[in-house]
Amino acid sequence: MSDLLQRLRGRGWRLTAQRRVVAEVLDGDHVHLTADEVHARAAARLPEISRATVYNTLGELVSIGEVIEVSTDGRAKRYDPNAHRPHQHLVCSRCGTIRDVHPSGDPLAHLPSSERFGFTVSEVEVTYRGLCPNCATA
């Protein structure tokens, strides 16, 4: 994630302890944390970090395209550092586990122009739901 910190410095961001910690918390694969989960993990390293700063930093990371916002459950949004490789999500309906899955072709192509009603379609979001191996056996 230190390459992320480099990119942020390149954009003129001040590298504060708070931003560093948020970036560290978001490091890894299949990371889809809510803002409050990010705050809890960040606060474990930097106890005085505020919720507002976590929300601000996440919002900034989203607006520059370093992090993606995912709404899989209509409750809290989740923040996904896997922003540089297009992907979709596979969600367990029972335990909420989220896995990244990678499309074979371009899912946008699956909408024929006869079904576009004059819209200029530029994005598509796909969420698959089912039971994960753990929840299926239980």
Partner DNA sequence: TCCTACACTAGACAGAGTCTAAGTCAAGAT
Partner DNA sequence: ATCTTGACTTAGACTCTGTCTAGTGTAGGA
Binding residues for Zn ion (CB under 5 A): 92, 94-95, 97, 132, 135
User: Does 86 sit near a copy of itself (CB under 8 A)?
Assistant: no
Figure out which of the listed residues 3, 48, 84, 122 binds a copy of itself, where binding follows CB under 8 A. 122
Judged by CB under 7 A, the residue of 2, 16, 93, 134 near DNA is 16
Residue 92 binds a copy of itself, judged by CB under 8 A: yes
Q: Sort 99 into a burial class: Cβ within 10 Å, 0-12 / 13-18 / 19+.
A: middle
The answer to whether residues 15 and 23 touch, using CB atoms and an 8 Å cutoff, is: no
> Is residue 98 helix, strand or coil?
strand
Locate 53 and state its tokens.
């700063």
As a whole number of angstroms, the distance between CA 87 and CA 126 comes to 9
133 near a copy of itself (CB under 8 A): yes
Q: Which is nearer to a copy of itself, 1 or 136 (CB)?
A: 136
| Under rule CB under 7 A, residue 70 binds DNA | no
Q: Is 101 helix (H, G, I), strand (E, B) or coil?
A: strand
Q: Which of DNA, Zn ion, Mn ion, none binds 3 (CB below 5-8 Å, type-dependent)?
A: none
